[in-house]
């Protein structure tokens, strides 16, 4: 009688069978690493890290302002002069009711609000202003800057967006070195093209503009030809890009809140523009800026999330 021998299956076949058996108990035994060669270890699965929680103080006890001529109240009281007492951020004028007065109260605002803005400042000047502001250890820092980066003699001289972004990033770093827990409220750059459209109807304003105020946008205010319209469109597009940069840099900081383009979207009327240059905010315009800032700062959620 012939001897019946058991057939010997290849080792690989036995491994496949073992994996098939293991798969039937995967619910109780958990996943089995049958796709890896014997003796190898599976790579650990990286679980997504939770997003850091954003922090915001809706009732800060002190305030420092940085920025340009708008925050200095330029041309709000007299021609070609700063008027910080009507500043939307830190002013003491009761008709404006600045952000500092609304947040801190009239008396406290005179002692715990500081204005480090400078007329003519561009974004490249912001890191130095932030360094000055940080020394005060303010609980809130307001930022409004960028109009002068677009308001040049020609569009070709406008600050490149990359440089604008780099300077704002550097300004935030300057603040964080000394005041890591300060909250930062960032106002958007105003819509310069809308200001041109509103102010060009005033004969006195057009004459003042000829002195060189924001020539890239306001120059030859009555010219509606193709070249002039293209020039204004370039400036408008640059302002939109600046606001995008402000939003993106601010979003990387857990204690920063952007205004959601609230200032850019605001439609200033003739009453809210300076009677001296029909471009900068008047007392009334400064008051509107204070209202916008106060509403956004005290809101439970950032404007971008509310829209």
Q: What is the residue-level pLDDT of the chain in tens, covering all 307 positions? A: 444 444 444 444 444 444 444 444 333 444 434 344 555 555 666 666 666 788 999 999 999 999 999 999 999 999 899 999 999 999 999 999 999 999 999 999 999 999 999 999 999 999 999 999 999 999 999 999 999 999 999 999 999 999 999 999 999 999 999 999 999 999 999 999 999 999 998 888 888 999 889 999 999 999 999 999 999 999 999 999 999 999 999 999 999 999 999 999 999 999 999 999 999 999 999 999 999 999 999 999 999 754 4
Q: Which residues contact 19 (CB under 8 A, 6 or more apart)?
A: 32, 34
**How many CB atoms are closer than 10 A to CB 5?**
6
Q: What is the DSSP letter of 301?
A: S
- What H or E segment, with its residue span, contains residue 62? none
**Is residue 113 within 8 Å of residue 62, measured between CB atoms?**
yes
- Dist. CA 150–CA 192, nearest whole Å: 9
CB 289 within 8 A of CB 272: no
Residue 90: exposure state from Cβ atoms within 10 A (0-12, 13-18, ≥19): buried
Confidence (pTM): 0.83
CATH, range 63-306: 3.40.50.1110
């Amino acid at each position: 009688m012939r001897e019946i021998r058991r057939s010997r299956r290849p080792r690989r076949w036995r491994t496949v069978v073992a994996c098939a058996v293991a798969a039937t108990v995967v619910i109780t035994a958990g996943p089995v690493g049958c796709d890896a060669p014997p003796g190898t270890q599976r790579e650990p699965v990286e679980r997504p890290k939770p997003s850091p929680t954003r922090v915001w103080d809706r009732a800060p006890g002190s305030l420092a302002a940085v920025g340009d001529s708008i925050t200095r109240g330029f041309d709000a009281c007299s021609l070609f002069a700063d008027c910080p007492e009507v500043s939307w951020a830190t002013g003491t004028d009761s008709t404006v009711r600045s952000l500092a007065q609304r947040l801190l109260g009239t008396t406290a605002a005179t002692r715990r609000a500081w204005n480090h803005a400078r007329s003519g400042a561009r974004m490249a000047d912001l890191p130095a202003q932030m360094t000055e502001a940080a020394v005060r250890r303010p609980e809130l820092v307001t930022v409004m800057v960028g109009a002068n980066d677009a308001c040049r003699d020609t569009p070709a001289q406008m600050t490149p967006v990359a440089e604008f972004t780099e300077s704002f990033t550097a300004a935030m770093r300057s603040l964080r070195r000394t005041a890591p827990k300060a909250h930062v409220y960032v106002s958007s750059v105003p819509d310069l093209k809308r200001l041109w459209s509103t102010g060009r109807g005033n004969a006195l304003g057009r004459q003042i503009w000829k002195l060189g105020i924001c020539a890239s946008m306001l120059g030859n205010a009555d010219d509606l030809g193709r070249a002039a319209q293209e020039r204004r469109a370039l400036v408008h597009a640059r302002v939109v890009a600046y606001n995008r940069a402000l939003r993106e840099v601010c979003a990387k900081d857990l204690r920063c809140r952007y205004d959601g383009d609230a200032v850019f979207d605001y439609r200033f009327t003739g009453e809210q523009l300076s009677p001296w240059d029909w471009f900068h905010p008047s007392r009334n315009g400064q008051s509107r800026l204070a209202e916008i800032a106060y509403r956004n700062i005290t809101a439970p959620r950032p404007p971008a999330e509310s829209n």
